[in-house]
Structure 1
Amino acid sequence: MDTTLFFFLMVYITMGLGKLPGFKVDRTGAAIVGALAMMAAGSISAKAAWMAIDYRTIGMLFGLMVVSGAFAESGFYAWTAQRVATLSVGPVALLGVLVVVGAFLSSILTNDVVVVAMTPLLISITLARGLNPVPFLLAFCFAANTGSAGTLIGSPQNMIAAQELGISFTGFLSVAGLPALLSLVIVWGIIAWMYRGHWTLPAPPATTTPAPAAPPPTRFDVVETCKATFVTIAVVIAFVLDAWPRELVALTAASFLLINRKIASSDVLKQVDGNLLLLIAGLFVVNAAMTSTDLPQHLLHDMRAWGINLNDPLSLLFASSILSNIIGNNPTVMLLVPFLDTGSHADILGAALALGTGFFSNLIVFGSLAGIIVVEQAASHGVKISFGAFARVGAPVSIVCMVMAAVWIMLIQHHA
C-alpha cells in the first residue's frame, strides 16, 4: 500500500504543479510513468490495468476530436474568427458576440480544440483594429469553459462523467444547459464592466513600427465544412436518440471524415490531442490501483463522518470546483466519479461535476487547459496576460457563476 500511495501522490502532485519537481516530466508523462510504475511494483496487474482503461471514454473522446479536427482543417474556425472579429460593432457588442460564439462552438465541439484554433486569429485581428486583446481573449476563454459545461460533448470531463454515471445526452442537457446559458450573461457583464474605458490600446509613437495589419483571408472550404457539419448534426441526433453506444457513434463519425479526397487524414489526426488521451488512460490505471488498496473508501467514510458527502450534489459541486483548481478538471472528475452513486440522482451529480469543474476553472490560469492555452498563445504573440490579471477578472466571474450554480443545484434537488 505504501508504494501505491507514493506513486499516486507523485502523479497528482504533478497534476497540480504541471510538472514533476526536479524533472522534465509533464502531466501526461507523470500519468504514464505512474501507471507503469504501479504495474512494475505489483500494485496492479497488467491485465487489470488494461481492464481499468475505459475504452468507451477514450473512443468517444478520440472520435469527437477527429470531428473537431475536420472543422479546423476545413478553415471553419479561422473563417469564423475573422468574420466575428471584423464585425462593424462596438467593443461591448463584439465582446458579447465572442462570448456567444465561444460558448456555442465549445458546447458542440471540444472546447480546448476551439480555443487552440481561434486564439491566434483573435489576437491578430483585435490588434489590427487597435483593440486591447486581453478582455476579448478572457471572454472567449471563460465562455468556452462555462458554455461547454452545458452539454455532454462540451468537454472531456463532461464526457467522462456522463459515461461513468450513465447519463444520457438529453438528461445532461436538462440539468446543466440552463446554468451554462446564464453563465454567458455573467461572463459578458463582469468583463464589460471591469474593462469599461480600457478597450483600446494606446496610440504608438510615430517612430515605432506601424500597427500590425489584419491577417490575410484564410482558406475556407465550404464543402468540407458542410460535410463536417452534417456529420456533427448526425452525431448529436444519435446521442439524443441514445440507441447506439456513444463511442461507436463518435468513431463512426470520425471514420467518415477521415475518408477524404481533399484533406489528408494525417492532417486531421494532427488536431487530435494525443497527450490528453494518454493522460486519461494513465489516470484510469493509477486510480484503479489506488482504489484496490481500499484507502479511498476509508477516506470517503471518514469524510461522511465530518459532514462531507460527495453523493450530495451541493457538496460535490464545491469539492470538485476546489479540487479542479489544484489538480485540473479532467483528473478531478476521474478521481471522484468512481465513488459516486449512479442511482436516480446521477443526472444531478453529473451536473454538479460539470458546473463545478467548468465554472470555477476560470479562477486562475491553471484551472483549465483553455486558460493555459490562451495565456501561452497570447505570450507567443507579444500579448501579456499575467497571473494576477487573469485572476482579477476570473475570480469574480467564477464566484458569481458558482453562486448561481449552487442555487440551481438546490432548486433541481428540491424538485427531484
Structure 2
Amino acid sequence: MTAVAVAVFVVAYGLIASERINKTTAALGGAAIVLALGVVGSDDAFFSHDTGVDWNVVFLLLGMMIIVGILRQTGVFEYVAIWAAKRAKGSPLRVMILLTLITAASSAFLDNVTTVLLIAPVTLLVCERLEVSPTPFLIAEVLASNIGGAATLIGDPPNIIIGSRADLSFNDFLVHMTPIVVLELLVFTLVLPWLFRGSFEVDPARAADVMSLNEREAIRDPRLLTKSGIVLFAVFIGFVGHSVFHIEPSVVALLGAGALVLISGLPQRDYLSAVEWETLLFFAGLFIMVGALVKTGVIAHLAGLATDATDGNALLATMLILVVSALLSGIVDNIPYVATMSPLVSELGESMGRHSETLWWALALGADFGGNLTAVGASANVVMLGIARRADNPISFWEFTRKGIVVTVITVAVAAPYLWLRYFVFA
C-alpha cells in the first residue's frame, strides 16, 4: 500500500505541476484511487484527525469566503484600492510594497488564508484602475502572507500545532519568531523590484486618473459596511482568543458568516457566488492523498531519516530540521507535515538539553517559509490561485513556483544564521 500511496501522489502532483488537467480533477482523482484501492478508508479520509480532510481548514475558508462576498457588496474594497493607489502616488512598485506589508502585518494576527481572502479583491481593483497585470502583485502578497504569518502563534496553522505540542505561548512566538520575521520582510521588500522586474510600468494618464478619484464615493452601502465591520471585528477577536474561548477558528468563521448573512438581508446569489467551491474540493482531494502518505508511514519515515542523521549534534539537528522542513513543506501541505514531524522533534529534543526548544523554532521557520516553495505548499497559495483564476487572471503552477523557490531560498538562508547566532553563539 505504501508504493500505491507514493505512486498516486507523485502522478497527481505531476499532473498538477504540468497543468495538463485541472488541478482539482487531479486531486480528486488521486483521492478516489487511494480510497478505491483501500489505502485509506472512509474513517481515515473523513473522520481521522491525522489522515483525513482537515475540516477546520475547509470550513474556515467557507466562512471567510461568505464574509468577503458580503463585504464586497459595500464597496469597501474599492475604497481601500483607491486609498492605497493614492498613497503610493500611482506607482505600481510602491503599491506592491504597501499591499505586501499590509498583508504580512495582517497575517500575523489573522491567519494567512483569511488575509489573502481580504486583500486579493483590493489588489485586483487597484491593478484594474492602473491597467497593470495583477499577477505579480497577487504572488508577492501570498509570499508575504506566509512570511508574516510565521511571526505569531495564530498567524499560520503549523504554529498552532507546534505551540500545542511544545507548550509554547503566544508571547514565546512574539519573542522568538517576530524578530526574524521583521528581518525577513525587510529583505523581501528589498528583493521585490528585482524579483518582479518589468512589472511596474504604468501609463502616467492612468496614474493621474487614480489620483483624482475620491475613495469615499466608492462606499455603496454604509449601513451594511458598519454591520460587516462589527461582525468582522468579533471574528478577529474570536481568532485571537480562540485558545481562551476554546472555539476553533473554523467555528468562529462560520458563526460570523451566519450572523452576517442574517443581518445583511442579501440574497444568496450575492454571497454564495464568492465561494471558491473548486478550491475547497481541491483541498479535500489533497488532504486525502497526503493522509494516505501519513497512514502508510511515508512522511514519518522521511522525517525519521532526517532526525536520525543528526547523531546528537544540536546545531546539525537544527539546520537539518530547518532545511528538510522547508523542502517537504513545499511539496506536501505544511499542516500535515508539521503534525507528523512534531512527535519526532519532541523525541529528538529530549537528547538536546538546553537546545530542545531551538528545534521547535527551526521546525516553525522551515515549515512556514517552506510553504512558499510551490503553489501547493501552503493553503494561502491555493486560495490565491483560485481567486486569480476566477478573476480571469490565471497563475500557473510554475509561474508561482519560480518566484516561490527564490523567496524560499532567501528566507531559509536568512533564518539559518539567525538560529545559529541567537541560540548557539549568543545563547
Do Structure 1 and Structure 2 share a fold, with TM-score over 0.5? yes
**What is the aligned partner in structure 2 of residue 136 from structure 1?**
137
SS at match of 1:11: helix
Match of 2:231 among 223, 228, 243: 228
Aligned residue type for 2:410: V
Please give the alpha-carbon distance, in whole angstroms, between the structure 1 residues aligned to 2:245 and 2:45. Answer: 27
Please give the alpha-carbon distance, in whole angstroms, between the structure 1 residues aligned to 2:396 and 2:253. Answer: 40
Please give the alpha-carbon distance, in whole angstroms, between the structure 1 residues aligned to 2:313 and 2:25. Answer: 29
Q: Does 1:95 align with 2:93?
A: no
SS at match of 2:325: helix
**CA contact under 8 A between 1:135 and 1:191: conserved in structure 2?**
no
SS at match of 1:52: coil
> What does 1:389-400 correspond to in 2, within 5 Å?
394-400=404-410
- Residues 184-237 of structure 1 show CA distances to partners (whole Å, capped at 9, x for unaligned) of 212211113556786214789xxxxxx9x9999364633233223431342245
Greater Cα shift, 55-64 or 166-175: 55-64
Task: Note closer, same or farther for the CA distance 1:117–1:314 as it changes in structure 2 (3 Å cut).
Answer: same
**CA contact under 8 A between 2:374 and 2:397: conserved in structure 1?**
yes
Deviation at 1:318, TM superposition (A): 0.8
**CA contact under 8 A between 2:69 and 2:275: conserved in structure 1?**
no
**What is the aligned partner in structure 1 of residue 263 from structure 2?**
261
**CA contact under 8 A between 1:65 and 1:110: conserved in structure 2?**
no
**What is the aligned partner in structure 1 of residue 35 from structure 2?**
36
Task: Note closer, same or farther for the CA distance 1:124–1:283 as it changes in structure 2 (3 Å cut).
Answer: same
Please give the alpha-carbon distance, in whole angstroms, between the structure 1 residues aligned to 2:6 and 2:411. Answer: 32
Please give the alpha-carbon distance, in whole angstroms, between the structure 1 residues aligned to 2:173 and 2:417. Answer: 18
- Residues 334-383 of structure 1 show CA distances to partners (whole Å, capped at 9, x for unaligned) of 55345432768786555434432332444555555545665676577676
Match of 2:329 among 297, 318, 324: 324
SS at match of 1:261: helix
**What is the aligned partner in structure 2 of residue 409 from structure 1?**
419
Q: Does 1:105 align with 2:102?
A: no
Q: Root-mean-square deviation (CA), in Å?
A: 4.7
**CA contact under 8 A between 2:158 and 2:335: conserved in structure 1?**
yes
Please give the alpha-carbon distance, in whole angstroms, between the structure 1 residues aligned to 2:167 and 2:11. Answer: 30
Please give the alpha-carbon distance, in whole angstroms, between the structure 2 residues aligned to 1:44 and 1:297. Answer: 16
Please give the alpha-carbon distance, in whole angstroms, between the structure 1 residues aligned to 2:380 and 2:15. Answer: 16
Deviation at 1:80, TM superposition (A): 3.0
Please give the alpha-carbon distance, in whole angstroms, between the structure 2 residues aligned to 1:277 and 1:166. Answer: 29
Q: Does 1:355 align with 2:353?
A: no
Task: Note closer, same or farther for the CA distance 1:90–1:15 as it changes in structure 2 (3 Å cut).
Answer: same
**What is the aligned partner in structure 2 of residue 341 from structure 1?**
346
Task: Note closer, same or farther for the CA distance 1:339–1:283 as it changes in structure 2 (3 Å cut).
Answer: farther
**CA contact under 8 A between 2:12 and 2:27: conserved in structure 1?**
no
**CA contact under 8 A between 2:136 and 2:199: conserved in structure 1?**
no
**CA contact under 8 A between 1:11 and 1:30: conserved in structure 2?**
no
**What is the aligned partner in structure 2 of residue 66 from structure 1?**
63
TM-score normalized with structure 1 length: 0.72
Deviation at 1:315, TM superposition (A): 1.6
Gaps of 5+ in 1: 205-210
SS at match of 2:108: helix
**What is the aligned partner in structure 2 of residue 207 from structure 1?**
none
> What does 1:125-164 correspond to in 2, within 5 Å?
125-129=126-130, 131=132, 133=134, 135-162=136-163
Task: Note closer, same or farther for the CA distance 1:287–1:251 as it changes in structure 2 (3 Å cut).
Answer: same
**CA contact under 8 A between 2:12 and 2:26: conserved in structure 1?**
yes
Aligned residue type for 1:66: G
Gaps of 5+ in 2: none
- Residues 294-317 of structure 1 show CA distances to partners (whole Å, capped at 9, x for unaligned) of x76665555455448999343222
> What does 1:229-248 correspond to in 2, within 5 Å?
229-239=232-242, 242-247=243-248
**CA contact under 8 A between 2:81 and 2:122: conserved in structure 1?**
yes
Deviation at 1:251, TM superposition (A): 1.9
Please give the alpha-carbon distance, in whole angstroms, between the structure 2 residues aligned to 1:380 and 1:46. Answer: 31
**CA contact under 8 A between 1:314 and 1:352: conserved in structure 2?**
yes
Task: Note closer, same or farther for the CA distance 1:32–1:297 as it changes in structure 2 (3 Å cut).
Answer: closer
Please give the alpha-carbon distance, in whole angstroms, between the structure 2 residues aligned to 1:74 and 1:304. Answer: 47
Q: Does 1:314 align with 2:319?
A: yes
Please give the alpha-carbon distance, in whole angstroms, between the structure 2 residues aligned to 1:63 and 1:346. Answer: 33
Q: Does 1:52 align with 2:48?
A: yes
**CA contact under 8 A between 1:85 and 1:94: conserved in structure 2?**
yes
Please give the alpha-carbon distance, in whole angstroms, between the structure 1 residues aligned to 2:257 and 2:377. Answer: 32
Greater Cα shift, 178-187 or 150-159: 150-159
Task: Note closer, same or farther for the CA distance 1:178–1:64 as it changes in structure 2 (3 Å cut).
Answer: farther
Q: Percent identity?
A: 21
Task: Note closer, same or farther for the CA distance 1:364–1:44 as it changes in structure 2 (3 Å cut).
Answer: closer
- Residues 131-176 of structure 1 show CA distances to partners (whole Å, capped at 9, x for unaligned) of 5655534432321221122233334444455456554444344432
Count of residue pairs the alignment pairs up: 399
**CA contact under 8 A between 1:12 and 1:327: conserved in structure 2?**
no
Deviation at 1:130, TM superposition (A): 5.0
**CA contact under 8 A between 1:10 and 1:20: conserved in structure 2?**
no
TM-score normalized with structure 2 length: 0.71
**What is the aligned partner in structure 1 of residue 288 from structure 2?**
282
Task: Note closer, same or farther for the CA distance 1:62–1:182 as it changes in structure 2 (3 Å cut).
Answer: farther
Please give the alpha-carbon distance, in whole angstroms, between the structure 2 residues aligned to 1:300 and 1:196. Answer: 37
Task: Note closer, same or farther for the CA distance 1:282–1:264 as it changes in structure 2 (3 Å cut).
Answer: farther
